[in-house]
A and B are shown apart, each in its own frame.
Chain A
Amino acid sequence: MQKIHSQILQISGDVIVVEAQDVSYRELAQVHAPAGISLAQVIRLDGKRVSLQVLAGSRGISTDDKVRFLKRPMRISYSEDLLGRVFNGSGLPRDNGPVLTDNMIDIGGPSVNPSKRIVPKNMIRTGIPMIDVFNSLVVSQKLPIFSVAGEPYNELLARIAMQAEVDLIILGGMGLKYDDYLFFRDTLEKQGSLSRSILFIHTASDPTVECLLVPDMCLAAAEQFALGGKRVLVLLTDMTNFSDALKEVAITMEQIPSNRGYPGDLYSQLAARYEKAVDFSDAGSITILAVTTMPGDDVTHPIPDNTGYITEGQFYLRGGRIEPFGSLSRLKQQVNDKTRSDHRAIMDRMIQLFADYRSTLEKRSMGFQMSAWDEKLLKYGNRFEEELMELSVNIPLEEALDRGWQILADIFEPAETGIKDVLVKQYWPAKAEAK
């Protein structure tokens, strides 16, 4: 039935061209090379010429290798058996477990009808004050961590995953360092969360294009679990590697690049993945946390730039801390009015004072004189950084708010904070007032 083609006409980059008939766009094929069998996906049809991107890379493929079309698009098995398992970028087991073949589902399915979405209203608590207090994470949010290489973004991701109250964690690793993969696995195992996790891991040593299907596999599984009523958290690290793989294939296919070599559809490609984040009107939800490493710490680089237009905010991780400026949760106002009556006031005023502290720092570095107010701000800024910004701080939201009041009370007079009298009366720590 399945015809085998043994004439590869062209090999360039990780794309091969064969002549074949009755091939569908986006269909999968197997390439039988001496080194092993690799999956390939149809990415262009032109008459009889079929272009395929070979997931395991084209190295070692010879022109007389066999190509077998599978008559189906990329699929993964969906069942409870996925839980606790680790797969590679082609969807095959990485953990010596059995290959799953039950209940196969297509990946990269259609988008959700906007009229079936709901405005999300539930906060995800992380125990990190810079998130909970200042930029609350909300169920169904899509949010990247913007960072540079060397920052502890994977640690941050793992911590949020561990502490978030979700039913299921799906980790998609793209170009992940092997150490980082082990770190994620061990962390999940240590916390007893591995049994409610699914890992699709493409490591830095795997062929680049193999990471292209990782987000789609993660999100297809997530979608099924969410439809089953589960709250799913999807972690994608690092989307920059995914984008670079897109670039590589686009250039091989001789597409006209738009910006710094990236294809013109980078925005649509990223959006197709991120927009899978959803709160279904009568089922579960998908929340996506991703990592985008910014080449050269440049937020105007096409990858972070396009990402920022798609996602609902971003966390900047800089110097091991979540930077309050630039970091933004676009959905925070959906939840932070229902937590505690002082939440918004503390959030606004502490950040404004911190901004004043930053400009005082600037003033000091330029040699301008420090006023009494400046001295207060300096003291405030230091305590803010140490007691709230440090990533090691791990306290519930309420405690973080109390701590905020304590810092304010230790340094400022109530009037100096500009917080409404009602709130001051209710929350200003008594002892400090006596001082």
Chain B
Amino acid sequence: MGEHTRTGQVVGVNGNMVGVEFAQSVMQNEVVYVRVGGEHLKSEVIRVRGKRAELQVFEDTSGIQIGNTVEFTGQLLSVELGPGLLGQIFDGLQNPLPQLARQHGFFLKRGAYLKALDDKQEWEFTTAVRVGEKVRAGDKLGTVPEKIFQHRIMVPFALHGEFEVTEIAPNGKYTIQTTIAKLKDASGKVQEVKMAQNWPVKVAIKAYAQKLKPTQPLVTKLRIIDTLVPVAIGGTFCTPGPFGAGKTVLQHLLSRHAEVDIVIVVACGERAGEVVEILEEFPHLVDPRTGKTLMERTIIICNTSSMPVAARESSVYTGVTLAEYYRQMGLNVLLLADSTSRWAQAMREMSGRLEEIPGEEAFPAYLESRIANFYERAGLVKLRDGGTGSVTIGGAVSPAGGNFEEPVTQATLKVVGAFHGLSRDRANARKYPSIDPLDSWSKYTSFIEPEHVRKGAAILKKSNNVNQMMKVVGEEGVSIQEFIDYLKGDFFDAVYLQQNAFDKTDEATAADRQKHVYRLMAEIIDLEFQFENKDAARRFFQQLRQSFVNWNSAAFQSEDFKRKEQNIRHQISNGKI
């Protein structure tokens, strides 16, 4: 019997887990199709015991019967990598959703799978190697223009060792099905290379020279993040928050404004409506860095909450694999996963069906290592051609009951470089972004001078202490000096840390403007003010706040901006000693 005809029989069905018996061999995590009527349901082997294997089915399992045939494919769950990924909308298994809709209408038909890449489209190939050159996995063979990038056609990552180019296609138009190069290994065996290759999603792509420490800040244009709790290019961060705290809005803002080449949005087990907003918005929003629409630099992986649960896991891995692929081209990629908790819940569901011994809150014991493995796929790497590329991962976490002590949040905190904790109190008070500046932390450094950042953090802490005190003893119970500290912290929060997402200018603040504004802010924090009484102090800061808010909506370095800055400086000089 050939490799592709290995079959087995269904012996049990429990939710989306199917037990099968097989005669020959099976491979852990290989893809299996369960035949039900005319439909073939994609599944993955997740446990083997004797002659019985358990599969997780990426589809609804209704109608499966004992004795149904399953086909083993011998392939790990893989994605197709090649030109044409940008701007697409995939489900968790890399099926293009708009194309599925064209074929099957309103509903996601069970067992309907489509190829991720269009194999009829022709790409303008430019050769980058000559016959006789030595190449290794990941080396550039040529390029094709894809949207705003030169998409590198690379030696397939799965090839081990050194190869000699024996044939290379001349410049010209080819489809992804065309053989564009032939490579010969040391033993003389020849490999044909096409523009697209497959790669198993759960395996990290490692065709680079070395992994570097992420140090350079990734500009998100959100002031609270960039200044207080920055993210590094190639770093990791997480945003846990209870429902209604604005996780998704924050991720949308990041996907729009972050200064990276490519953004991959993984909507994992969340509301479909939110993805639809991106789908409708992005083709009309212009990326100021390129002048093209945001869709040109975006890939959306969308496995929303009512779509098959098992595919949530694959959606996260599909996303990170695509990110690694573009990283290999020397690009900076930001992967946003909303929400990793849903993926963890999918693991929990499956673990329960496997009757594994549960850990905390019934999550499986391997929860932590799976989460760690996922975030470890982020990183800044030095490619073999000397260039660098990066994958930055930001994961939203949806803790049960908004309690950060739960296992998913805790497992995530252990492995990320920055923690942006969202607070329901701040969201209720309409303070956006609702990242709690006191609880959140980052191990990366900001582009703003560290001692200035410390100043800001210190005044927030002091202000909060005074505020707590006033709740007990009233305003009259604190000294005017303490009261001024309270006002300073409150002011810093209101005009700098909070941003108005409905204001075209205030919505995103570039790095140079942040540095400029923060310099003045640091001055204000340092200044010693003197006021007759607390009311006068409050009035002063209220007015200053109003001027600052107006300043925030003036375009950087415009006449209006300069005039407003002058006005603020004038106001300050009236208040200080």
* Shortest CB distance A269–B (Å): 10
Q: Which residue of A lies closest to B355 (CB)?
A: A256
Which residues of A lie under 8 Å from residue B306 when comparing CB positions? 111, 271-272, 274-276
Name which of B163-171, B268-276, B384-392 contacts chain A.
B268-276
B12 close to A47 (CB less than 8 A):
yes
Task: Decide if B13 touches A45 in the complex (CB within 8 Å).
Answer: yes
**In the assembled complex, which residues on chain B have CB atoms less than 8 Å from the CB atom of A255?**
352
Closest chain-A Cβ to B161's Cβ sits at a distance in Å of: 42
B106 touches A26 (CB 8 A): no
Q: Is the CB of B13 within 8 A of A275?
A: no
| Bound Cα distance from A355 to B104, whole angstroms | 50
Q: Are B62 and A264 closer than 8 Å at their CB atoms?
A: no
B60 at the interface (CB under 8 A from A): yes
Interface residue ranges of B1-39 to A (CB < 8 Å)? 10-15, 19
Q: Tell me if A109 is interfacial: C-beta within 8 Å of chain B.
A: yes
Tell me the smallest distance from the CB of B92 to a CB of chain A, in Å: 12
**Is B398 in contact with A368, judged by CB distance below 8 angstroms?**
no
Residue in B closest to A23 when the chains form the complex, CB atoms: B65
Q: At the interface, yes or no: A118 with Cβ under 8 Å from chain B?
A: yes
Asked if B401 is at the interface (CB within 8 A of a chain A CB), the reply is yes
In the docked arrangement, what's the CA distance between A257 and B62, Å? 23
In the assembled complex, the Cα of A283 lies from the Cα of B63 at a distance in Å of: 29
CB-CB under 8 A from A258, the residues of chain B are 348, 352, 361-363
Contact in complex: A264, B272 (CB < 8 Å): no
- When distances are taken between beta carbons in the complex, the residues of chain A under 8 Å from B346 are 268
- In the complex, whether A195 has a CB less than 8 A from a CB of chain B is no
- Count the A residues whose beta carbon is within 8 Å of the partner chain — how many? 63
Is residue A227 within 8 Å, beta carbon to beta carbon, of the partner chain? Answer: yes
CB neighbours (8 Å) of A312 from chain B are: 271, 273
Residue in contact with A46 in the complex, picked from B14, B362, B403, CB distance below 8 Å? B14
Q: Is A21 an interface residue (CB 8 A)?
A: yes
Residue B478 at the chain A interface, CB threshold 8 Å: no
A111 partner residues in chain B, CB cutoff 8 A: 107-108, 272, 304, 306-307
A-side contacts of B342, CB under 8 Å: 267
Contact A300:B304 (CB < 8 A) given known A45-B12, A117-B272, A312-B273:
no
Most buried by B among A118, A257, A305, A352: A305
Q: Which residues of B contact A122 (CB under 8 A)?
A: none
Residue pair A264, B345 in contact (C-beta under 8 Å) = yes
Q: How far is the CA of A318 from the CA of B101 in the complex (A)?
A: 43
Complex CA distance for A310 and B339, rounded to whole angstroms: 12
A47-B11, A118-B280, A264-B348 known; A21-B101 Cβ under 8 A: no
CB distance from A369 to the nearest CB of B (A): 9
Tell me whether A116 and B106 are in contact (CB under 8 A).
yes
**A128-158 toward B: CB 8 Å interface, digit per residue (1/0)?**
0000000000001000000000000000000
User: Given A25-B65, A305-B401, is A112 in contact with B108 using a C-beta cutoff of 8 Å?
Assistant: yes
Contact B309 A368 (CB under 8 A): no
A25 near B62: Cβ-Cβ < 8 Å: yes
Could you jot down 14 A-B contacts, CB within 8 Å?
A: A23-B66, A24-B63, A44-B13, A47-B66, A111-B272, A113-B104, A114-B304, A119-B276, A119-B277, A119-B280, A256-B362, A257-B362, A259-B361, A274-B306
Residues of B participating in the A interface, judged by any CB pair closer than 8 Å: 10-15, 19, 60-67, 89, 97-98, 100-101, 104-110, 242-244, 269-273, 275-277, 279-280, 302, 304-307, 309, 342, 345-346, 348-349, 352, 355, 358, 361-363, 398, 400-403, 428-430, 474
Report, nearest first, the 9 A-B pairs whose CB atoms are least far apart: A300-B401, A271-B305, A275-B306, A308-B243, A26-B62, A111-B306, A258-B362, A45-B13, A25-B13
